Amino acid sequence: MNPEILFFFEVLLGGLLAGVMYSLVALGFVLIYKASSVFNFAQGAMVFFAVLSFVGFMELGLPFFLALLVTVGLMVLVGMATERFVLRPLVNQHEDTLLMATIGLAFVLEGLAQLVWGVEVRRLDLGIPDVPIMWIADATGIFVSALDLVAGLVAAVMVAVLAIVFSRTKVGLGLRAVADGHGAAMSIGIPLSQVWVFVWATAGIVALVAGMLWGARAGVQFALVGLALKALPVLIIGGFTSVPGVIVAGLIVGASEKLAEVYIGPYFGGGIEGWAPYMLAVLFLMFRPEGLFGERIIRRV
Partner 1 sequence: MYYRQAGTYRTDYAQDMRLLPLKEDRILLGVVLLAAFAVIPFTASDYWLSAILIPWLCLSLVALGQNILMGYAGQLSLGAAGFMAAGAFACWNFMHRVDWMPFPVAVFLSGLIAAAIGIVFGLPSLRVRGLYLAVATLASQFFIVWVIDKFGWFKDYDSSGIITAKDIVIFGKSFTSPAEMYLVVLTITVVLTWAAMNMARGSVGRNWQAVRDMDVAAEVMGLSLLRTKLQAFAISSFYCGVGGALFAFTYLKSVEPAAFDINLSFRVLFMVLIGGLGTIIGSFYGAGFILLLPVFLNIFFHALFGKAVDATITSALEQVIFGVMIILFMIYEPLGLAKLWQNFQERMRRWPFKF
Q: Which residues contact partner 1 by CB under 8 A? A: 39, 41, 85-86, 89-90, 93, 95-97, 99-101, 103-112, 114-115, 118-119, 226, 229, 232-233, 235-236, 268-272, 274-275, 278-279, 281-282, 285-286, 289, 299-301
Picking from 108, 275, 43, 81, the residue whose alpha carbon sits closest to that of residue 197 is: 81
In the complex, the smallest distance separating the C-beta of residue 297 from partner 1, rounded to whole angstroms, is 9
Sequence-separated (6 or more) residues with CB below 8 Å from residue 48: 109, 110, 113, 211, 222, 224, 225, 228
How many CB atoms are located within 10 Å of the residue 7 CB? Answer: 14
In the complex, the smallest distance separating the C-beta of residue 90 from partner 1, rounded to whole angstroms, is 6
Comparing CB distances to partner 1, the nearer of 2 and 92 is 92
User: Distance of CA 83 to CAs 38, 188, 197, Å?
Assistant: 12, 20, 6
Picking from 154, 153, 140, 138, the residue whose alpha carbon sits closest to that of residue 9 is: 140
- Mapped onto helix, strand or coil, the DSSP state of residue 130 is coil
In the complex, the smallest distance separating the C-beta of residue 300 from partner 1, rounded to whole angstroms, is 7
Comparing CB distances to partner 1, the nearer of 191 and 226 is 226
User: Distance of CA 236 to CAs 89, 151, 192, Å?
Assistant: 28, 22, 27
Comparing CB distances to partner 1, the nearer of 136 and 285 is 285
In the complex, the smallest distance separating the C-beta of residue 106 from partner 1, rounded to whole angstroms, is 7
In the complex, the smallest distance separating the C-beta of residue 280 from partner 1, rounded to whole angstroms, is 9
Comparing CB distances to partner 1, the nearer of 174 and 250 is 250
Comparing CB distances to partner 1, the nearer of 38 and 213 is 38
In the complex, the smallest distance separating the C-beta of residue 87 from partner 1, rounded to whole angstroms, is 10
Comparing CB distances to partner 1, the nearer of 16 and 86 is 86
Length of the chain: 301
Give the long-range contacts of residues 259-268, CB within 8 A, separation 24 or more: 259/11, 259/12, 259/15, 262/11
How far is residue 219's CA from residue 51's CA, in Å, rounded to a whole number?
Answer: 10
